[in-house]
Amino acid sequence: MNVPFLDLKKQYEGLRDEIEAAISDVIQNCAFAGGPFVKRFEDDFAGFCRSKYATGVSSGTEALWLVMLALGIGPQDEVITVPNTFIATAEAISFCGATPVFVDVDAQTFTMNPNLLEEAITPRTRAIIPVHLYGQPADMNPIMEIARQYELFVIEDACQAQGAEYNGQRAGTIGHAGCFSFYPGKNLGAYGEAGAVITDDPKLDETIRMLRDHGQTEKYKHSLIGWNARMAGIQGAVLSVKLRYLETWNALRRKNAGFYRECIEHFNGVKLPVEAPYARHIYHIFPLHLKNRDKLMAHLAEKGVQCGIHYPVPVHLQEAYRYLGLKEGMYPVSEKSADEQLSLPMFPELTQEHIEFVAEQIKHFIS
């Protein structure tokens, strides 16, 4: 049996008529860059997130970057995040001219450990970026409490958390802004690159809207030095269609995660993902942690099971960030995760038969 890590073709087959009609509508109206189809998605996504404002941009990376620019973060500033994330989180900090500062993650959830946060704060600290990893929010209450105490901005990296919840509140609505990626493989994926920023702050939203469009208040009148970060009309139209199914897809992911647990929880030496009591996990990724991860991945590949690793090299050990002078051993939980984490196939259309087959192959490997 072949079990793909992700099956976007299967998803498209179920939406073919709606997707093609939406794309055709964009083409017929020649609304390719921004425009009414992006506006419709922004309104829909703000409603979905229970946020006042949503601004569509061209990637999740730019969402993070533009929020920091809008907040005035720049050279001489520090922004705290985690090393157990995709490099885009740190890149956005660097492209503002600021310096990323890392704190390690919790050993159960692999999201920011709030107990380590205060010791990383310096007079140069301006913001905190907790990463909602694998589809589960970070523990936001203690993070927000520390941020208020030190008068810091909180920017949620919710790029893997479209529809996840923290104590009943949507991911991305707890800090000053939430940043989302709609890369095709996300729970809500575009047909190309796209992202969004949500916030309840009208001034912040206004500034981000100008920054994404060359700093314009109106055509050819530029109040800020901005950038071209507009969402494409086709992406807005596709996302509007797919957003209608997101709650159903997230529920199916949660169901699949539950069945994985039933099949795997009794296997010795395999650590399953922990769903925190404050969280509604939407399982963008279903991660295992175990020794001999690489051998298991090779074994599964031989049996036709595609897996992934999120992430094999923590950001602080990447060549790009060597200049920070950070060494192996400084963030042990993140480093251990990099050595032991394995992402199993996870998507809404995954079948019980697929999951049973994957579990059977893992059992054979362990035994």
**Cα–Cα distance for residue pair 61/197, rounded to 1 Å:** 11
What integer is the mean pLDDT of 190-195? 98
Give CA torsion, residues 198, 278, 131, 338, to 10 deg: -160
**Contact predicate 10/18, CB 8 Å:** no
Per residue in 279-288, pLDDT (tens digit) is 999 999 999 9
**Cα–Cα distance for residue pair 252/240, rounded to 1 Å:** 20
Per residue in 196-237, pLDDT (tens digit) is 999 999 999 999 999 999 999 999 999 999 999 999 999 999
* Burial class of residue 21 in the structure, from the number of CB atoms within 10 Å of its CB (0-12 exposed, 13-18 middle, 19+ buried): exposed
- Is pLDDT of 180 > 90? yes
**Cα–Cα distance for residue pair 180/71, rounded to 1 Å:** 17
Q: SS3 of 80, please?
A: strand
- Is pLDDT of 35 > 90? yes
Task: Specify the pLDDT at position 367.
Answer: 85
Task: Specify the pLDDT at position 148.
Answer: 98
**Domains of the chain with bracketed CATH:** 8-243 (3.40.640.10), 246-366 (3.90.1150.10)
**Cα–Cα distance for residue pair 54/179, rounded to 1 Å:** 10
Per residue in 323-362, pLDDT (tens digit) is 999 999 999 999 999 999 999 999 999 999 999 999 999 9
The structure tokens 């500034």 sit at: 207
Which among 295, 299, 304 is positioned nearest to 353, based on CA atoms?
304
Given CA atoms 58, 134, 313, 322 in this order, what sign does their dihedral have?
positive
Q: SS3 of 242, please?
A: helix
At 12, list the tokens.
């498209």
**Contact predicate 153/147, CB 8 Å:** yes
Task: Specify the pLDDT at position 354.
Answer: 98
In the chain, the percentage of residues whose pLDDT exceeds 70 is 100
Q: SS3 of 113, please?
A: coil
What integer is the mean pLDDT of 63-68? 98
Please give the mean pLDDT across all residues of the chain: 98
Task: Specify the pLDDT at position 303.
Answer: 97
At 237, list the tokens.
């139209």
Phi-psi region of 147 (alpha: psi -120 to 50; beta: other; left: phi over 0): alpha
Task: Specify the pLDDT at position 193.
Answer: 98
**203 contact partners, CB below 8 Å, separation of at least 6:** none
pLDDT tier at 302, thresholds 50, 70, 90: very high
Task: Specify the pLDDT at position 328.
Answer: 98
**Contact predicate 151/126, CB 8 Å:** no
Phi-psi region of 167 (alpha: psi -120 to 50; beta: other; left: phi over 0): left
- Is pLDDT of 154 > 90? yes
Per residue in 244-264, pLDDT (tens digit) is 999 999 999 999 999 999 999
